[in-house]
């Protein structure tokens, strides 16, 4: 019997490192990226219905489309064209912020609707049409992501780490950031990190890497620099870097108390920013109700 409703969590995607290593003839950029997922994100609930509808609620719902432009509805059409469901998306992550909010929502919709409708999940190459981050978000494990997002290799287990995410209140369009790139043929990541035991060891390895989009994004939104400086100034911050195409930046911490204190301090100093502390999220499972 099909469940009456299915709930899914859509965790924020964090690019610990992101190298742009080439560009294909069709203009898609080739990436080499280290991706993890934070335990802060959006929530999605699907119920059986005759027609396919989407309602967006939550503190970050303003400006999120509920029409065919929304990746959640595009994901539903990809999974089962013509099938009906009532979808409610609670939006907590800022939009156009470099942490894969829309892609995570699409992946959560695929997981939830596949259970509601009894359909198999599509392959990574098929969901790539929804966006470069969707295959990784659908997988949900710490990954090395290559190609245009379709090559996914699980990482060795990472040590316990905590993140502080800071978005300075600006939306940055990903295409604009890529257009602002000065170089598109950078070197790839070094070999995958060994089995590191501590967050400090991971930070040492991450300092061998970078986010190639950071300099380009800074030319479009200089306030990103303020977010990086605010994170770097916090006690216990091992590394501060921009995620994805921005404007969200992350600070890497070794313990949850330091991360929570840093988030409080930045939130107090910059009340107009979106700030959150988080651990790493496990691979996501859906929850069905009858």
Q: Which residues are catalytic?
A: 13, 133
What is d(CA 237, CA 277) in angstroms, rounded to the nearest whole number? 12
Please provide the size of the chain in residues.
Answer: 290
Whether the Cβ atoms of residue 47 and residue 85 lie closer than 8 Å to each other: yes
Handedness of CA 242, 178, 216, 226 (dihedral sign): negative
Whether the Cβ atoms of residue 214 and residue 180 lie closer than 8 Å to each other: no
Whether the Cβ atoms of residue 23 and residue 265 lie closer than 8 Å to each other: no
What is d(CA 152, CA 135) in angstroms, rounded to the nearest whole number? 8
Q: Please calculate the CA angle 63-66-68 and round it to the nearest 5 degrees.
A: 120
- Give the other-Cβ count within 10 Å of 17's Cβ: 21
């Amino acid at each position: 019997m099909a469940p009456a409703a299915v709930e899914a969590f859509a965790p924020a995607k964090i690019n610990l490192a992101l190298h742009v290593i080439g560009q294909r003839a069709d203009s898609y950029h080739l990436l080499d990226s280290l991706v993890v997922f934070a335990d802060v994100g959006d929530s999605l609930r699907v119920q059986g219905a005759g027609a396919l509808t989407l309602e967006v609620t939550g503190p970050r719902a303003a400006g999120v489309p509920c029409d065919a432009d929304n990746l959640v509805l595009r994901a539903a059409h990809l999974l089962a064209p013509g099938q009906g469901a009532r979808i409610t998306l609670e939006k907590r992550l800022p939009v156009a912020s470099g942490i894969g909010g829309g892609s995570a929502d699409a992946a959560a919709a695929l997981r939830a609707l596949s259970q509601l409708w009894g359909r198999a999940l599509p392959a990574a190459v098929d969901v790539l049409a929804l966006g470069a981050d969707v295959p990784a978000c659908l997988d949900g494990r710490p990954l090395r992501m290559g190609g245009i997002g379709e090559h996914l290799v699980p990482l060795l287990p990472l040590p316990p780490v905590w993140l502080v995410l800071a978005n300075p209140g600006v939306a940055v369009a990903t295409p604009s950031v890529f257009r602002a790139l000065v170089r598109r043929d950078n070197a790839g990541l070094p070999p995958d990190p060994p089995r590191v035991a501590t967050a400090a060891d991971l930070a040492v390895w991450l300092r061998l890497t970078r986010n190639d989009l950071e300099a380009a994004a800074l030319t479009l939104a200089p306030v990103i620099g303020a977010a990086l400086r605010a994170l770097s100034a916090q006690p216990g911050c091992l590394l501060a870097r921009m995620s994805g195409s921005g404007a969200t930046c992350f600070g890497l911490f070794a313990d949850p108390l330091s991360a929570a204190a840093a988030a409080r301090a930045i939130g107090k100093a910059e009340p107009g920013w979106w700030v959150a502390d988080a651990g790493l999220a496990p691979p996501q499972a859906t929850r069905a109700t009858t």
